[in-house]
Structure 1
Amino acid sequence: MARKHEKLRVWQSAMDLVVATYEETNAFPKFELYGLAQQMRRAAISVPSNIAEGYGRNSDLEFLRFLHIARGSLFELETQIKIAARLGYIRPEELLCLNERVFAQLAALLHRVQSETPRKASGVKRPASSE
């Protein structure tokens, strides 16, 4: 049975970003296993994890807080992708494209939740799968 946060497009895209990050970092030099590769993996994992955790909270303000944390992790990962590209470890196009897709979807969800937050106090529910 899928949880409601799993129906969010942004969560699904963030999961795709995690998989792609793991695939790309598998080819890193061995000495980077506990360096840049691990940092990239942690940043990528943080995005869908924070979306899920925020969704599971009882407060829309908490949900927004976790969505902002996820956005910060996207910025972190983008920087790390660019570092890996400068070091010649990866071709960054695919990861940057996925990162940008998640960023856009997350921005749309943030906007939607922020704009609906006053109405939510009167019982309006979170979007189930529209963002």
Structure 2
Amino acid sequence: MHNFKKLKIWQEGINLVSDNYRLTRTFPGIEKFGLVVQMNRCAVSIPSNISEGSSKSTDKHFNKYLEDSLGSAFEWETQLIVAYNENYLSEEIFKELEQKIIHIQKMISRFQSGLNI
């Protein structure tokens, strides 16, 4: 078992959630029940799966939750691209957030590689 609050991957995920909420608050009203909801759920899912998986008794079980977290990270990246393509954010903000999510994806993958499975 791992203390999820001490895991850098969880901390970075929590930071992304804050970035995500700041971003989606600026989206047009037409996206209130569409892209906003999707992005919020994906962002929250990243650290949520890490924390849930950390309670599992084996690294093999933990890894399954890390896979789900990584999947949510890739899904969120896709939704970020959609938002950018719809001109809901500037290129500068897009590039900044794209780098953050890619960094999180790499961190999760490296963490998985270090598990005893």
TM-score band by shorter chain is: over 0.9
Q: What does residue 111 of structure 2 align with?
A: 109
Give the TM-score taking structure 1 as reference length: 0.83
Structure 2 unaligned runs (5+)? none
Deviations 1:57-98 (A, max 9, x none): 122211000000001001100100000000000131121111
CA RMSD of aligned residues (A): 1.1
Q: What does residue 129 of structure 1 align with?
A: none
Larger RCO of the pair (alpha carbons < 8 Å, separation 6+): 1
Runs of 4+ with deviation above 3 angstroms: none
Aligned residues: 113
Deviations 1:2-58 (A, max 9, x none): x81110101000101111011011000011111101100100100000000000112
**Distance of 1:111 and 1:57 partners within structure 2:** 17
**Among the aligned pairs, what percent are the same residue?**
34
One-letter code of the match for 1:4?
Answer: N
Q: What does residue 94 of structure 1 align with?
A: 96
Larger radius of gyration: 1
**Distance of 1:62 and 1:72 partners within structure 2:** 16
**Distance of 1:35 and 1:21 partners within structure 2:** 15
